[in-house]
């Protein structure tokens, strides 16, 4: 199995990248997160996953090993194929996906195009323990942060801010201070929006 490809980035597109490795161009399907982390026209290292089906061999590329691991976990769930997993990783970062699974946030997973309620629940049931073990996520802090985050988001929505924009700001604030209270999150978010 091809585990990584290192070479010159020949072509970059929001859905795929072509890397020239000693004269052979490898086309890899990528997420938007990987796309945004790729430089223009330079040597790159992408971690890969080769998906083999009867009718196709498809190579997926990732900027980090964590993103590749989340992708592999997602594709292990019945009903979640490689393209759905890639869509999830384009909609959210790998950290956000693992946090959503660890905290049992069905709504967030279901917000991804192509994932219904049953599939979202199956993802959580199948992967929650694996995510908690693999990524060493503390379930209590995830639930606490998630509750604070949801309350802060609701308050900002009531104040007239777009949820998507507020979500980004709140997520960044929680990265800086994971144990921030709802009040602090709202005050800091209002300064940054």
Instruction: Indicate the average pLDDT of the chain.
Output: 85
Rounded to whole angstroms, the Cα distance separating 83 from 109 reads 15
State pLDDT tens for residues 114-162.
Answer: 888 898 899 989 988 888 777 765 554 555 556 778 888 888 887 888 8
Specify the pLDDT at position 28.
95
What is the three-state SS of the chain? CCCEEEEEEEEECCCEEEEEECCEEEEEECCHHHHHHCCCCCEEEEEEEEEECCCCEEEEEECCHHHHHHHHHHHCCCCCCHHHHHHHHHHCCHHHHHHHHHHCCHHHHHCCCCCCHHHHHHHHHHHHHHHHHHCCCCHHHHHHHHHHHHHHHHHHHHCCCCHHHHHHHHHHHHHHCCCCCHHHHHHHHHHHC
Q: Which two tokens stand for residue 161?
A: 């801010």
Percentage of residues in the chain having pLDDT higher than 70 = 94
State pLDDT tens for residues 67-116.
Answer: 999 999 999 998 899 999 999 999 888 888 888 888 888 888 888 888 88
Burial label for 35, CB within 10 Å (0-12, 13-18, 19+), is middle
With beta carbons less than 8 A apart as the criterion, state whether 124 and 106 touch.
Answer: yes
């Amino acid at each position: 199995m091809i585990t990584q490809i290192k070479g010159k980035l020949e072509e970059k597109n929001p859905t795929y990248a072509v890397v020239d490795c000693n004269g052979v161009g490898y086309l890899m399907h990528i997420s938007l997160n990987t796309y945004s982390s790729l430089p223009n026209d330079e040597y790159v290292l992408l971690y890969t996953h080769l998906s083999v089906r009867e009718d196709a061999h498809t190579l997926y590329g990732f900027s980090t090993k964590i993103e590749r691991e989340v992708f592999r976990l997602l594709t292990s769930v019945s009903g979640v194929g490689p393209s759905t997993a890639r869509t999830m990783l384009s909609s959210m970062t790998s950290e956000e996906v693992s946090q959503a699974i660890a905290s049992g946030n069905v709504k967030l997973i279901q917000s991804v195009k192509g994932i219904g309620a049953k599939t979202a629940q199956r993802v959580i049931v199948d992967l929650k323990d694996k995510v908690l073990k693999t990524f060493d996520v503390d379930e209590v802090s995830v639930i606490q942060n998630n509750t604070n985050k949801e309350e802060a988001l609701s308050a900002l929505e009531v104040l007239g801010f777009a949820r998507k924009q507020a979500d980004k700001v709140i997520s960044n604030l929680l990265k800086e201070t994971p144990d921030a209270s709802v009040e602090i999150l709202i005050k800091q978010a209002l300064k940054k929006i």
